[in-house]
Amino acid sequence: MVDRMRKKQPGPIPNAVLMCHAPIVLPEIGADRASDCAASTEAMTKAAEHLVAQNPDVLVLISPHTPRDPNAFGIVGGTSLSGSFRRFGFPDIRATVPNAPEAATEILKAAQEQGVAVGMVPALDLDHGAMVPLHFMVQAGWQGPTLVMSLPYDTTHALCRTLGTSIALAAERSEQQWALLASGDMSHRLIPGAPAGFDPRAEDFDRHIVSCVQCGDLEGAVSVDPELREVAAEDVVDTLEIAASAIGFSPSGLEVLSYEGPFGVGYLVAILHTACAE
């Protein structure tokens, strides 16, 4: 009787990737330093082209820099999503894609059923956490319905996993093919002069995450020591955990496309799950 009453777990999101969000990986912004992060730029292009080639109906992009609600995950509203790199001195580098209101409705419903708070965020100019990966997606030909989601102030493993399950459930009910793009950067303290200062232990965080992802051990990756996370000043674990949950912690066709940290911040780009590998 208990087994019959147990909730059916949704199937995994067909396609999921992890992308970094440092504006400097755009060659126009990197300028004379672009060659120092060329591996990341190439990997971002490859990840975007791979995702577009899967021809998803909806793209869900999770950004750790989209303005946060104190108590809920958010979905950016509006009829379209757009932004630029004006804050970085490049106002002419822009991207605009249609929003996905039907997908938003499905996520709101699934999240309510799963007991995780998700609300709507007023339309806004997209942050670099969304814009950097979205730029590469648009360059690769993406112009489809897109959702940008934000995190709450305080996240937990349970909240991130429940949101991932909710996204997978919403996608399954929609009877469309969704793709999930997790945006996140690794340690911000890799070298002296790094954005958040330097800590020699920060390298241990990046080494742990990269090693686990390479082995397909997403459970191990997101279960990294909380103290090490704090030392690293990272913003990748939450979004990676949402993606991992959305694919049932069972990567398919996983490929680490690049990892480097030339400016003191670690950039990891990886394909986590791809339907064509099954």
How far is the first Cα of the chain from the last one, in angstroms, to the nearest whole number?
33
pTM of the complete model: 0.95
CA 52/CA 46 separation, integer angstroms: 10
Assign 269 to helix, strand or coil: strand
Encode the chain (278 residues) as per-residue pLDDT tens digits. 333 334 567 888 999 999 999 999 999 999 999 999 999 999 999 999 999 999 999 999 999 999 999 999 999 999 999 999 999 999 999 999 999 999 999 999 999 999 999 999 999 999 999 999 999 999 999 999 999 999 999 999 999 999 999 999 999 999 999 999 999 999 999 999 999 999 999 999 999 999 999 999 999 999 999 999 999 999 999 999 999 999 999 999 999 999 999 999 999 999 999 987 54
Query: Which strand ranges, in their side-by-side order, compose the sheet holding 118-121?
Result: 118-121, 73-76, 146-150, 58-62, 178-183, 15-19, 267-273, 255-260
Distance, CA of 64 to chain centre = 8
The Cα angle at residue 167 between residues 174 and 42, in degrees rounded to 5: 105
For the chain, give every domain's residue range.
Answer: 11-188+233-277
Q: Are the beta carbons of 209 and 228 closer than 8 angstroms?
A: no
CATH top class, domain 11-188+233-277:
alpha beta
